[in-house]
Amino acid sequence: MYLADQTWPDLGDYVAEESVAIVPLGSTEQHGPHLPLSTDHTIAESLAREAAERTGFLCTPTINVGVSPHHRQFHGTMWVDPPQFRDYVESFTRNLTYHGIDRVVYVNAHGGNVQHLREVGRRLRDDGESYCIEWMWDESITPLVEELFETPGPHGGPKETSMMLHLDPDNVREDRIEDAAEGGCRNFPEDVDTVRHGSRTFYDAADNTANGVLGDQTDASAENGEQLFEAATEQLVFLLEWLDEQAFADLLPKPHVDPQPGSKR
């Protein structure tokens, strides 16, 4: 069920029975010379919509711009600063809790959002208002990613290229895939000199890759993308069903161990 397509009475019927929502989030940022800036939010929205279709749970509109200042040297990249992103997502989520939603899965497709979504989830859980968890699609199917690709890469590599060949092939510049691989960093962090003595001495993607790419896209295919999409959707459905089955009280923070602070005063 997609929230924006419903009427308010339809949504009243939903929250009378259900309390789960799916929130897709991504970014609008460079993904090399071959992939569109929409890559992350296209993947996130596609997975969220498909999981909503299979489960009947509510899917919200997508948050398309995330925490991406580390890609700012490349044309067109958009970003918001972390405090503003966290506050926006928290406010967005509190909209949902006001209407009766008390558990949320953030379907995330951008690594730069992860720590900030975790922080928002902690805030809302500590308030006792809702239980919100971040889900990263490729981390849910790591064995399959490693089986399909020799050098999957964390950004603009074959896993994202394959997903986009499956989801939005018209916007993939297939004639640039070879150039993307040759002009980027195929093996990260092995092929860079910005990790020294255990310290990450880089801050931006441009410190590691001339064209914004990390990974070898030549293994990418629409067929691989279909496998990734199906496997990740299955994992997301399992997560949503698990979350729906939990008692809300069991999702909240555990009490302080005994003796309770101030109990003898």
Per-residue pLDDT band for 154 (boundaries 50, 70, 90) equals confident
Question: Tokens representing 110?
Answer: 């951008």
Q: Exposed, middle or buried by CB within 10 Å (0-12, 13-18, 19+), for 27?
A: buried
* Alpha carbon distance 87, 84 (integer Å): 5
The reported pLDDT for the residue numbered 90 is 98
Over 80: is that where the pLDDT of 85 sits? yes
* Alpha carbon distance 265, 259 (integer Å): 12
Over 90: is that where the pLDDT of 74 sits? yes
- Residue matched to tokens 């150039």: 179
* Alpha carbon distance 103, 124 (integer Å): 10
Q: CB of 42 within 8 A of CB of 167? A: yes
255 vs 103, higher pLDDT: 103
Walk me through the domains of the chain, giving residue ranges and CATH numbers.
3-251 (3.40.50.10310)
* Alpha carbon distance 260, 180 (integer Å): 58
Share of the chain above pLDDT 90, in %: 84
* Alpha carbon distance 105, 173 (integer Å): 32
Amino acid at 172: V
Q: What are phi and psi of 183, to 5 degrees?
A: -95, -5
Residue-wise pLDDT for 15-50, tens only, equals: 999 999 999 999 999 999 999 999 999 999 999 999
Give Cβ neighbours of residue 31 (< 8 Å, ≥ 6 apart). 37, 39, 40, 155, 156, 160, 212, 213
Rounded to 5°, the CA angle 257-118-194 comes to: 120
* Alpha carbon distance 202, 73 (integer Å): 14
The reported pLDDT for the residue numbered 190 is 60
Residue-wise pLDDT for 171-202, tens only, equals: 999 999 999 998 887 766 666 677 777 787 78
Over 90: is that where the pLDDT of 222 sits? yes
* Alpha carbon distance 39, 7 (integer Å): 30
- The beta strands (E) that lie in 126-217 are given as 131-136, 195-196, 199-200
The reported pLDDT for the residue numbered 188 is 66
For the entire predicted model, the pTM comes to 0.94
